[in-house]
Amino acid sequence: MGVFDDNYVKPYPLNNENARFSGYSFFLVLTKDKKSQIIRLVKESQSQSQKRTKSKTIKRKEDDLVARLVDVIEQMIKEMVDENDGTATICRSQLAEQANCVPSQITYVLSTRFSGGSGYIVESRRGGGGQITITRVNHVGPAEYLKAIIDSVGDDLSQQQAKNLLMNAVSVGAMTSKEGTAIMAAVSDRALARVDSDIRAVLRADIFKHALLGLMVT
């Protein structure tokens, strides 16, 4: 008696709703008492895959919304600075109310988009009800500006933080667009893909600082 003898098992075509998995119809060689078990497992696998896909989609949309909100808050602050001849005093809670977000989101934008080396000086005023003064720095040479960026970078640096710092440096003329693009390529997640994620941000910060030092001595 062969393995594919009709008295043992037979090819069973699954062409109905039980047969479709990832767009393909399978022919399963099964004993009848195993068919329902295999079909159930296939359906459970499909269901779990769909749930994971849905979860990733929701997370991606949430991240996109947060990124857009950060951009909106940054633009609001820059417009206030421009309208007040390079210096603006804001109230964290009031700005959060205008942007329809929590005050901690304002703090995040100030620390990532207006930190040292970004072309702005941020000063918190004690006893001022959460007031913060933001001043745009205009009269700084390229070397001083790059040094300010280096001093502002801590022990680690994210890809987005590096991008923001380089964009600001290019916008104020502290480096060329070509130089900014080259440094960004060197510290990108893709360039550091083989580095363990636990130390990637630390290594990125080191590479970033040394690249700026190289520009200062050229």
Looking at residues 152-176, what average pLDDT do you find? 86
Among 5-14, 85-94, 181-190, the range scoring the smallest mean pLDDT is 5-14
9 pLDDT band, cuts 50/70/90, is very low
The rounded distance, in Å, linking the Cα atoms of 87 and 65 is 29
183 or 41, greater pLDDT: 183
Higher pLDDT, 121 or 206: 206
Domain ranges of the chain: 140-218
d(CA 103, CA 30): 61
- Rounded average pLDDT over 23-30: 44
Q: How far apart are CA 52 and CA 184, in angstroms?
A: 32
Which whole-number Å values give the CA distances from 208 to 109, 116, 204, in the listed order? 21, 15, 6
**Is there a contact between 180 and 167 (Cβ–Cβ < 8 Å)?**
yes
Confidence class for position 28, pLDDT limits 50, 70, 90: very low
Task: Supply φ then ψ for residue 176, to 5 degrees.
Answer: -80, 165
216 or 206: which carries more pLDDT confidence?
Answer: 206
Which class for 204: exposed (0-12), middle (13-18), buried (19 or more C-beta within 10 A)? buried
pLDDT of residue 3: 42
Integer Cα distance of 103 and 55 in angstroms: 28
pLDDT in tens, 169-183: 887 788 999 999 999
Asked whether the beta carbons of 134 and 87 are under 8 A apart, the reply is: yes
5-9, 38-42, 80-84, 105-109: lowest mean pLDDT where? 5-9
pLDDT of res. 210 = 95
- Is 0.85 topped by the overall pTM? no
pLDDT category of residue 4 using cuts at 50, 70 and 90: very low
pLDDT at 72 over 80: yes
Give the domain 140-218 fold: 1.10.1200
Query: Which amino acid would we find at residue 143?
Result: A
In this structure, of 38-42, 105-109, 186-190, the range with the lowest mean pLDDT score is: 38-42
